[in-house]
Structure 1
């Protein structure tokens, strides 16, 4: 295979591949159906033209037949007038017209046969077109259903391009999140271990630990102080409650004494009376 033939073959194969990807089966079926309808219309037009030619020949035949009758009448009249020469001419014209009529009849019969054949082909083609139309609609429905089912399946299983892109985006986001969390945990661990000294502080790790210990001791001391103060407050509250009870009892006793004195005074007044 030469270079030119190989180049031509490769180009044709590439073009064929592009056409296959760009081809829509439903559009192809519709186009084929329209082409068949155009062919049917052309057949009908051919039948109409053929019928027109046949009718034209039939009209011409009728005119010749009228001329034959006319020449026949002329021959009779010439015989009656003893004009054999005129009668002979009329009969000669009659024979010529009859020969033309025979030729026209042959042509008309041929056209009629052709017309019958075209009508049969037209009926057959029309039947095939109707059958193709039914198959076309069925095939289009199946193709559209299969296409919709394929899209749904791809969306559900994640095989489609969009779902694949979404899946890859989620994977990248998860990887970045894991990396950031690991980096943050590593930094916290290094800071707690003192591996990274504070750039703004001149304290080393030992001083920070000692300071943390002093802070803890101060917190414990303050906690003990608060507990002691709370204990004293509880004792004072108890004593105050006891004093309040004594005062209440004293108040109650004084009232009772006053009441008894009033009763005694009343009794004394009653006795004096």
Structure 2
């Protein structure tokens, strides 16, 4: 495929549509960018050649224009010297050069058109390439974010299914069980303490009653006045 055929295909391509249909958009945009870069290099080389050819035609045109002036002066000189024969030959050479100049003028116009078209093509391809590179940058960023999310999900899943996580769950349940037992033990201990206090109070009351009864008996034994 020639350079200009590739250029037309690239410029007319709908990048968004092509990427939407691609199985691997990132790979496709990478290949497209590479193709654009290679085509751009070839277009610039072609433009440089066209500019060089245009410059060569311009130089030839300037040189022939100078020669036309020279042959006209020679024809005048020959006439002034009475050498019409030489004047005719000088004018014939001038006419031949004039025809060549007309041909070169056409070539120069064509060269200008080629250079102008090449420069337009380069500008269009550079704009397309810039758009493709931006899409490539965005795809790479999206791919990176997707890979990061995937890695995070995998790490979470691995942590949830790991022995360490399971052991942590068992350890947490064991602590909860121990806390519950401690709370029950505390309640039982509190009840036992209250019961013991009540019995101690009863025992103190009984001692007082026994001592009171003893005093009463002693008083009854004493002689009355």
Whether 1:107 aligns to 2:133 is: no
Distance 1:67 1:145 in 2: 71
Q: Deviations over 1:161-190 (max 9, x none)?
A: x998x79xx9xxxxxxxxxxxxxxxxxxxx
Q: Which has the higher contact order (CA 8 A, sep 6+)?
A: 2
Q: CA offsets, 1:180-216, max 9 Å, x none?
A: xxxxxxxxxxxxxxxxxxxxxxxxxxxxxxxxxxxxx
Q: Report the equivalent of 2:81.
A: 81
CA distance in 1, matches of 2:101, 2:154: 77
The alignment partner of 2:82 has SS state of coil
What is the CA–CA distance in structure 2 between the aligned matches of 1:28 and 1:163, rounded to whole Å? 38
Change (3 A) 1:67 1:163: farther
Specify whether residues 163 and 33 from structure 1 end up closer, same or farther in structure 2 by C-alpha distance, changes over 3 A only.
farther
Give the CA RMSD over aligned residues.
Answer: 2.5
Query: How many angstroms apart in 1 are the aligned matches of 2:160 and 2:132?
Result: 39
Residue in 1 that maps onto 2:69 = 69
Tell me if 1:50 matches 2:50.
yes
TM-score by length of 1: 0.48
Q: TM-score normalized by structure 2?
A: 0.57
- Number of the residue aligned with 1:121: 121
Match of residue 139 from structure 1 = 139
Q: Which residue number in structure 1 is paired with residue 39 of structure 2? A: 39
Q: Aligned ranges for residues 240-255 of structure 1 at < 5 Å? A: none
Structure 2: which 5+ runs fail to align?
A: 1-22, 167-225
In the TM superposition, residue 25 of structure 1 has moved relative to its aligned partner by 5.6
* In 2, Cα distance between equivalents of 1:106 and 1:79: 33
Instruction: Please state how far the C-alpha of 1:150 moved relative to its aligned partner.
Output: 1.5
- Contact 2:36 2:129 (8 Å CA) reproduced: yes
Number of aligned residue pairs: 142
Please give the alpha-carbon distance, in whole angstroms, between the structure 2 residues aligned to 1:115 and 1:128: 20
Q: Which runs of 5+ in 1 are unaligned?
A: 1-22, 171-273
